[in-house]
Amino acid sequence: MQSIRDKFPHISEATWPILEAWAELLREWNEKVNLISRKDIDHLEERHLAHCLAITNHLKLMSGTRILDVGTGGGLPGLPMAICYPQAHFTLVDSIGKKIAVVQDIATRLKLKNVEAKQVRAETLNKQFDFVTGRAVKNLPEYFSWIKGNVRRGERNSIPNGVLYWKGGELDSELEALGIRPRKTIDLEKELDDPYFEQKYILHFDARDVPRARKPKAQ
C-alpha cells in the first residue's frame, strides 16, 4: 500500500488503514469467488486500487452527494470511493447475486454506513443520482442506454454532476457511436506515472450532455 500512497495526497491518513482492510477482505473473498483474475490479485493495490483512487485527485464531494456504481462486480470503483468519501452515499448495483453478496459482506465488515448494495439491473432503477460510475462494464453506447435516466444535473461538487467511466483502449469509435464526448479525460498513465496504465482513462460526461447519448445500434 505504501507504494501508492504518495500518488493520492488528498486521501487522509485515517483512510489508509480502512483501504488496507478492504484489500485483505477482497483477497479473502477472491479465493472463493472469482472477482479479479488470479494473476492480477497479486497486483491488487497498484493495478486495481490505484486505478479507482485516481479520481480522488480530481473530485471533491459535498455532504449528501449520491453516487450509483453500475456493474460494480466486486465493488470497484464503488467501495474504495465510499471509503474515501464517507460524506457521500453510494449505491452499488450488479445483476449477479454472488458478487453483490461479497460487496455487502465487505461493506458490513468495514462498517461502511454509506454503502447500499443491490442485485438489480440499472435500467430498472427509477432513481436519480449526482454521479453514475462504471469501470469497464460495457461499451459506452450500451452502458449509457442503461443509465441515461439515472443522472441528475447539478454543480455543487468540484466537477459537474454526470457519468464517471473508467475505460481503456481506443476511444474514438465508441465516442463517435455514443454521439457525445467527455468534458474531462484523465489519462491514467500520466496521472499514476505507470506504463501499465497506457491508454487507460477516466472519462467525465456532464449530466447536461447525457440525454443526447445515442442508443446502441441493434446487433
Does domain 2-212 match CATH 3.40.50.2300?
Answer: no
**pLDDT value of position 155:** 97
* pLDDT tens-digit map of 131-190: 999 998 999 999 999 999 999 999 999 999 999 999 999 999 999 999 999 999 999 999
Confidence of residue 219 (pLDDT cuts 50, 70, 90): low
3-state secondary structure of 89: strand
Q: What is the pTM of this model?
A: 0.96
Domain residue ranges in the chain: 2-212
User: Can you list the alpha helix ranges (DSSP code H) found in the chain?
Assistant: 2-5, 16-30, 38-41, 50-53, 78-84, 97-109, 140-147, 172-178, 188-192
Q: Residue 83 in contact with residue 110, Cβ under 8 Å?
A: yes
**pLDDT value of position 79:** 98
Identity at 63, one-letter amino acid code: S
Q: What angle do CA 172, 49, 122 make, to 5 degrees?
A: 60
* pLDDT tens-digit map of 10-53: 999 999 999 999 999 999 999 998 888 888 899 999 999 999 99
